Amino acid sequence: MLAWVVDRAGPIDTGPLAQVDLASPSPGQGEVRIRIRCCGVCRTDLHLAEGDLAPRRAEITPGHEIVGVVETRGPGSDRFAIGERVGVPWLAGTDGTCRFCRSGRENLCLSPTFTGWDRPGGYAEFCLADERFCYPLPQGISDEQAAPLLCAGIIGYRSLLVSGVRPGGKLAIYGFGGSAHLTAQLALNLGMTVHVLTRGERNAALATELGVDSVGGPAEPPPEPVDGAILFAPAGELVAPALAGLDRGGTLAVAGIWLSDIERIRYQEELFEERVLRSVTANTRRDGEEFLRLAERYTITATIHPYPMQQAPQALSDLAHGRFDGAAVLHNP
Ligand SMILES: [Zn+2]
Ligand SMILES: [Zn+2]
């Protein structure tokens, strides 16, 4: 099978990915082999290709927003029928035994594995997955629409939970790419006031089109103090202004797996009055199941930029240079 691998991590326009021909993998105990229909492109894939995120194994295939059908099942695998459509997300496995798994916080598992980082991901024709970590996909959601929900959507949902904003409350969103444009739709459906602070005309136009309450520049304050905020842009310099935009007791959730260094936080102006700064680390399967249900109920719709699988490096380059809004999805023929 054809698969893209990270050959030599470096700036995306220097060609860090290579396409190779690999043996098609056989599923082990509890695993399924999935024929991949499409795979979303996440910023984490870019961080991996560029070396911001250290590889956990050589020649890893990126991609963790995988939509495909179960083609074969390994021993003991019976959760899905042959031919059934499934989604494969970022969280590929946990030990199930550590203190975090046992307390309902498997996103903090001490020995987790991740799709497209530890295990070969979706920039390929086939992949393997532990069936317990796959999602059945709601029928009302197409393959292409389902792909970005599997990371961008789920992480956005967890970030919204971490921000602590209640239905009817006020939310600020910093950065408006793949994850943010899904989260904003959910927040609006939950009756929240949504203020978007972003750079880039296309991102701002998309936010306006989705009906958010205001759109401003990235370092501007929101037009009113907010109950919570989510930082989607991987820009540490936005942490201080985002904290300053919070109302007393508000929480800033940092959604990304990678953030440039935070230079300075001034305690008095930006953190005092019980403002909270929290990161978001992966997600639990429960987060994923809840979000997929909400996405179907509210018809959360991704703005999709389709690419053939052959053009994976181009999709990553376009993401790096902000050449599209919404989410890129790679398609197998
Ligand atoms: Zn992702
Ligand atoms: Zn664990």
Q: Are residues 99 and 182 in the same domain?
A: no
Residue with tokens 């059934």: 84
Q: Are residues 225 and 166 in the same domain?
A: yes
CA-to-CA distance for 239 and 235, rounded, in angstroms? 8
In a domain, 297, yes or no: no
Alpha helices in 245-321 (DSSP H): 285-297, 312-320
Q: Are residues 34 and 82 in the same domain?
A: yes
DSSP string, 208-248: HHHT-SEEE-TTSPPSS-EEEEEE-S--GGGHHHHHHTEEE
- Total domains in the fold of the chain: 2
In a domain, 145, yes or no: no
Q: Are residues 263 and 308 in the same domain?
A: no
Q: Are residues 46 and 170 in the same domain?
A: no
**What's the gap in Å between 10 CA and the centre of ligand 1?**
19
Q: What pLDDT was estimated at residue 322?
A: 86
**What's the gap in Å between 112 CA and the centre of ligand 1?**
15
Q: Are residues 176 and 119 in the same domain?
A: no
CA-to-CA distance for 124 and 50, rounded, in angstroms? 19
Closest ligand relative to 100 C-alpha: 2
Q: What pairs with residue 126 in β-bridges?
A: 35
E-strand spans in the chain?
A: 2-6, 17-21, 31-40, 66-73, 85-88, 91-93, 113-114, 126-130, 135-136, 170-174, 193-197, 214-216, 226-231, 246-254, 276-279, 304-308, 327-331
Q: Is the pLDDT of residue 53 over 90?
A: no
173, HSE (Cβ side, Cα atoms, 13 Å): 31
Q: Are residues 11 and 125 in the same domain?
A: yes
Closest by alpha carbon to 328, among 308, 76, 216? 308
Q: Are residues 184 and 249 in the same domain?
A: yes
Return the percentage of the chain with pLDDT > 90, whole number: 90
**What's the gap in Å between 103 CA and the centre of ligand 1?**
24
Which amino acid, residue 217?
G
Closest by alpha carbon to 40, among 158, 122, 159? 122
Tokens for 149?
Answer: 């929900």
In a domain, 294, yes or no: no
Q: Is the pLDDT of residue 210 over 90?
A: yes
**What's the gap in Å between 31 CA and the centre of ligand 2?**
19
Distances in Å between the Cα of 59 and the Cα atoms of 9, 72, 100 are 10, 24, 30
In a domain, 82, yes or no: yes
Closest ligand relative to 48 C-alpha: 1
Q: What is the CATH number of the domain that holds 165?
A: 3.40.50.720
Q: What is the CATH number of the domain that holds 117?
A: 3.90.180.10
**What's the gap in Å between 106 CA and the centre of ligand 2?**
6
Check residue 14 and report its DSSP letter: G
Has this prediction a pTM greater than 0.95? no
**What's the gap in Å between 17 CA and the centre of ligand 2?**
31
8 A C-beta contact, residue 278 and residue 228: no
pLDDT tens-digit series, residues 238-270: 999 999 999 999 999 999 888 999 989 999 999
Closest ligand relative to 46 C-alpha: 1
Q: Are residues 127 and 177 in the same domain?
A: no
Question: What's the pLDDT band for 55 if we cut at 50, 70, 90?
Answer: confident
Q: Among positive and negative, which fits the CA dihedral 105, 110, 116, 120?
A: negative
**What's the gap in Å between 64 CA and the centre of ligand 1?**
6
**What's the gap in Å between 60 CA and the centre of ligand 2?**
23
Q: Are residues 85 and 10 in the same domain?
A: yes
CA-to-CA distance for 171 and 187, rounded, in angstroms? 8
Closest by alpha carbon to 275, among 283, 266, 284? 266
Q: Are residues 226 and 109 in the same domain?
A: no
In a domain, 141, yes or no: no
In a domain, 322, yes or no: yes
Closest ligand relative to 91 C-alpha: 1
**What's the gap in Å between 253 CA and the centre of ligand 2?**
23
Closest by alpha carbon to 285, among 119, 123, 136? 136
To the nearest whole number, what is the mean pLDDT of the chain?
95
Closest by alpha carbon to 115, among 147, 84, 143, 162? 147
**What's the gap in Å between 44 CA and the centre of ligand 1?**
5
**What's the gap in Å between 133 CA and the centre of ligand 2?**
14
Taking the chain, what is the end-to-end CA distance rounded to the nearest angstrom?
Answer: 13
Q: What pLDDT was estimated at residue 225?
A: 98
**What's the gap in Å between 242 CA and the centre of ligand 1?**
23
Closest ligand relative to 158 C-alpha: 1
CA-to-CA distance for 136 and 133, rounded, in angstroms? 10
**What's the gap in Å between 124 CA and the centre of ligand 1?**
16
Segments forming the whole domain that contains residue 185:
153-279
Report the alpha-carbon angle 48-113-255, nearest 5: 55
**What's the gap in Å between 113 CA and the centre of ligand 2?**
10
Q: What pLDDT was estimated at residue 324?
A: 84
Q: Are residues 251 and 182 in the same domain?
A: yes
**What's the gap in Å between 169 CA and the centre of ligand 2?**
33
What value does the mean pLDDT take over residues 194-202?
93
**What's the gap in Å between 275 CA and the centre of ligand 2?**
30
**What's the gap in Å between 274 CA and the centre of ligand 1?**
30
In a domain, 7, yes or no: yes
CA-to-CA distance for 189 and 300, rounded, in angstroms? 9
Question: What's the pLDDT band for 160 if we cut at 50, 70, 90?
Answer: very high
In a domain, 296, yes or no: no
**What's the gap in Å between 99 CA and the centre of ligand 2?**
7
Q: Among positive and negative, which fits the CA dihedral 185, 293, 114, 95?
A: positive
